[in-house]
Amino acid sequence: MGMQADIIEQWLLVDCDIKLRMVKRVKTFPEQMKTMGWTEKANGSVVTMKRHFVGLTVFSPETGAETTDWTWFMGRGRTLTFHSEGEGGEKYLCTENKLTMEDRIIGDGWEFQTWEMYGPWTPIPGTYFEGVIT
């Protein structure tokens, strides 16, 4: 259980940042006087969300928790559902759980969570290279 309060509102989406990361891999073989390399790519995604509460009585951070789906309140009775369907159904990991209190007397404030997912590295076709060490 992450939180208990008199009122806990629905999660609101703050930010969803999805990026394709790339890295160049290089291996050197001094005894053979050669080097080789290639480029790899991986998807990375960071989701930040928040919810308002009043009358907070219990809080325990959810860092380390995993999930693949959320539903966020979008206003006017609308919701947005998000489901991770990456290669192999990657799960998001909760990496930050933060409380910001607005009124400590009535236990009024906001809970913020950051969830991260990084997919597996895969080689990009056509990027392989070899070289000679001189």
Summarize the confidence of residues 86-93 as an average pLDDT: 71
87 near 121, Cβ under 8 Å?
no
Residue 87: pLDDT over 60: no
Confidence of residue 118 (pLDDT cuts 50, 70, 90): confident
pLDDT, residue 15, reads 94
Q: How many whole angstroms separate alpha carbon 61 and alpha carbon 79? A: 25
Encode pLDDT of 91-108 as tens digits: 889 999 999 999 999 999
| Backbone angle region of 76, left / alpha / beta, with phi > 0 → left and psi within -120 to 50 → alpha | left
Encode pLDDT of 67-83 as tens digits: 888 888 887 888 888 77
User: Domain ranges in the chain?
Assistant: 3-132
